Chain A
Amino acid sequence: MQKQAIFQSRLLPYALVAPQLAIVLIFFYWPALQAVIQSFLLQDAFGLSTSFVWFENYVDLFRDAAYFEAVVRTFVFSFAIAATSLSFALLLAVMADKPLRGSMLYRTLLIWPYAVAPPVVGVLWIFMLHPSLGVLSRYLRNMGIDWNPLLNGDQAASLIILAAAWKQISYNFLFFLAGLQAIPKSVFEAAAIDGARPMRRFWTVTFPLLSPTIFFLLVVNIVYAFFDTFGIIDTMTRGGPGTSTVTLVYKVYSDGLLGGNLGSSAAQSVILMVMVIVLTGIQFRFVERKVTY
């Protein structure tokens, strides 16, 4: 079987991919290049005075203790968000995978949160958990918990993690459900005949067979937690209290757009870019090899 298509002209294939290439170059490579260039410059907000400072922006960053705190915080947040949303999504997917009446309805409803924009998620959770306006805060207070994420950093952090994880559950749910349905029923039946109970069947059959999906989702969720939580943080805590919810992406925004320090902001973007390249690299390497037991 011939797999390669044969083109009469040497130029035709290039012409066919040109639109896609143009989009990638203009919308991805060009801005990325701009960020790299900007990271070597010291410039005022208006771009009126520019000086080339080599690696000064990077050196300043690595000398800044607050930056390292943000790095650690970002990793903690990412793993917490990924762990929370993956475990809930898996639980829901396993439940919804059973032959239930109206399972189509559950499945559809469970996908809805994914369509909600991050800032809206932030606002929704604020309404529930704002110290004085929130519906849930009143219950927490009545239970004797001094709920005040405006001043308590740990509570603010858990609020962000909860909201960010909630939004990602739908996406993970979809993939888990598809992954579960791809597992041949005969494997379960064989395990059941051998006398394995549901819990055991889950841990020895389902979980290993789902591992490629889990790994893929882990990477996707970490990338999500790295970048897409910005809207949630901006609407819910603006990085506070103190700096307890300032993540790397939020710092890029606050230094660049609020602080007008474009050089430092660009340097931080470049570092983030490198992190994503590494993460994606790992993902490709391992997904290609198909993680299985």
Chain B
Amino acid sequence: MALRHFGAAAAVAIAVGMTASPALAVTEIQWWHAMTGANNDVIVKLATDFNASQADYKVIPTYKGNYPDTMNAGIAAFRAGNAPHIMQVFEVGTATMMAATGAVKPVYKLMADAGEKFDPKIYLPAITGYYSTSKGEMLSFPFNSSSTVMWVNLDELKKANVEIPKTWPETFEAAKKLKAAGHDTCGFSGSWVTWVNLEQLSAWHNVPLASKANGLDGFDTVLEFNGPLQVKHLETLVELQKTKTYDYAGRTNTGEGRFTSGECPIYLTSSAFFGNVKAQAKFNFTAVPMPYYPDVKGAPQNSIIGGASLWVMGGKSAEEYKGVAKFLTFLSDTDRQVYIHKASGYLPITKAAYAKAKEEGFYKDQPYLETPLIELTNKEPTDNSRGLRLGNMVQLRDVWSEEIEQALAGKKTAKQALDAAVERGNTMLRQFEKTAVK
């Protein structure tokens, strides 16, 4: 560990040494991010446009690896006293960042201190809620957001004479028919097994994943996802796994090729999968809202987001913060949000941008791009569906996945697996609570 920190610190020291230009009037703002490919181009364009729009500040974007790598690089840099100004952190890192009082500067405070006009009401609450305190104070600035949707291979469904399913029972039936029609290795599947089958499932049915509004109201939250709904759902998956009507596709999104190759005709994953589907799928496709259990009262509720937000790091000068505040205002501009939405497939974060995209007829040809927004805004978010704030979330997901895998492999029953996932997870949450800054 120490060695890794030293390495990162050394790399940062060298990078800073090379990029720090001598006494210019321009204030530089370092922005570390985790975007590749087309999304990296979007980031570079945003920075270039901002730098061209004014002469006082210069935003310098730097790619730092995938989400965990970027976050670890930022943490190591902070420990070495060289943190960037803005850091892109994935949604599951929220609790860790929030707990680091002093290491981060909450966005609402940044805007107030810099005297920048800032109205939290212009943003979509389903998105900002994830990154705000329970009082509605915005802690980090949502950058790229997505949600879970169900991707459907229209050609294969038509061939098997199957309607697009709306509920979970219909989905299971559809998968059985698809399997009978030749998809004998995969009727349906999905990525991010815990995100889809625990986190989103709970929010979508308005049942708690954890106490204290899923952790938003305090670090003393306790996991509660071993309830009847989640157990029943996992039991069904275990049963269907035996015949490969459902076939597990891994903890992350490495199994997504199974949809675009045509192997799995129904696939639940992030709406941000759109770019790959569009580029690779040689069939007609669409994305529809996640299925729900019709016997659960009030379902469906609303989905929660995935993706990442921009955290402003602590310990910088007032002048630097002013530049960061100006940049965040720049990002909130309606046309710019529409641009980001169209170019990356991620969701717009302001109400005005959503309305404008709709007005322009953006969703007419591609209705599936609106699906995540329909899910997110389906109902007013409740304590169970506003978001998640659990410490050590990255590792928590690994532990939950481990238990789900045990159940799918038939080594534990669904109930035993979820009980163990809750118990092991709670131990980790208590560990996090011990180290979190009070």
Q: A-side interface residues toward B, CB under 8 Å?
A: 27, 30-35, 38, 42-49, 132-133, 150-153, 238-243, 252, 254-262, 265-266, 269
Contact = CB atoms under 8 A, between A and B. Distances in A.
Contact of B258 (A32, A49, A132, A266): A132
A150 B436 CA distance: 34
Contacts of B401: 240
A150 B68 contact: no
Interface residue range, chain B: 35 or more
B3 interface: yes
B430 to A, nearest CB: 11
B1 A48 contact: no
Q: Which 6 A-B pairs have the closest CB atoms?
A: A34-B2, A259-B395, A241-B405, A31-B3, A44-B435, A31-B2
A31 B6 CA distance: 8
Nearest to A268: B1
Nearest to A130: B254
Given A34-B2, A38-B1, 9 more contacts: A30-B2, A33-B2, A42-B435, A49-B437, A150-B405, A254-B398, A259-B392, A259-B428, A260-B395
B405 A257 contact: no
B394 interface: yes
18 contacts: A34-B5, A42-B434, A45-B100, A46-B75, A48-B102, A48-B103, A49-B438, A132-B185, A132-B186, A132-B261, A239-B398, A241-B402, A242-B403, A243-B402, A254-B398, A258-B392, A258-B394, A260-B392
B68 A257 contact: yes
B148 to A, nearest CB: 20
B68 A240 contact: no
B101 interface: yes
B51 interface: no
B218 interface: no
Contacts of B435: 42-45, 49, 260-261
A23 to B, nearest CB: 13
A30 B1 CA distance: 12
A230 to B, nearest CB: 12
Nearest to B257: A133
Contact of B96 (A42, A242, A260): A260
Nearest to A48: B437
B27 to A, nearest CB: 25
Contacts of A240: 251, 401-402, 405
Given A254-B395, A261-B392, A46 B405 contact: no
Contact of B99 (A31, A38, A44): A44
Contacts of B102: 48
Contacts of B5: 34
Contact of B405 (A30, A151, A256, A266): A151
B199 interface: no
Nearest to B241: A151
A46 B395 contact: no
Contacts of A132: 185-186, 249, 255, 257-258, 261, 263
A257 B75 CA distance: 10
B266 to A, nearest CB: 15
Contacts of A152: 409
B248 interface: yes
Contact of A151 (B78, B248, B395): B248
B6 A44 contact: no
Given A46-B100, A239-B398, A257-B72, A151 B432 contact: no
Contact of A258 (B3, B68, B406, B436): B68
A35 B186 contact: no
Nearest to B396: A259
B2 A150 contact: no
B1 A256 contact: yes
A255 B435 CA distance: 14
A150 B250 contact: yes
Given A49-B437, A259-B428, A150 B249 contact: yes
A138 B436 CA distance: 49
Given A49-B437, A240-B401, A150 B248 contact: yes
B408 interface: yes
Given A240-B401, A255-B395, A46 B2 contact: no
A261 B431 contact: yes
A153 to B, nearest CB: 7
Contacts of A151: 241, 248, 405, 408-409
B232 interface: no
A216 to B, nearest CB: 26
B409 A153 contact: yes
B394 A259 contact: yes
Contacts of A32: 2
A58 B425 CA distance: 20
B158 interface: no
A243 to B, nearest CB: 5
A266 to B, nearest CB: 6
A280 to B, nearest CB: 18
B45 interface: no
Contact of B103 (A46, A261, A265, A266): A46
A257 B258 CA distance: 30
Contacts of A27: 3
Interface in B389-438: 391-392, 394-395, 398, 401-403, 405-406, 408-409, 411, 428, 431-432, 434-438
Contacts of A239: 398, 402
A242 B79 CA distance: 33
A144 to B, nearest CB: 14
Contacts of B261: 132
A265 B409 contact: no
Contact of B1 (A44, A49, A150, A269): A269
Contacts of A153: 409
Nearest to B255: A132
Contacts of B402: 239-243
Nearest to A263: B435
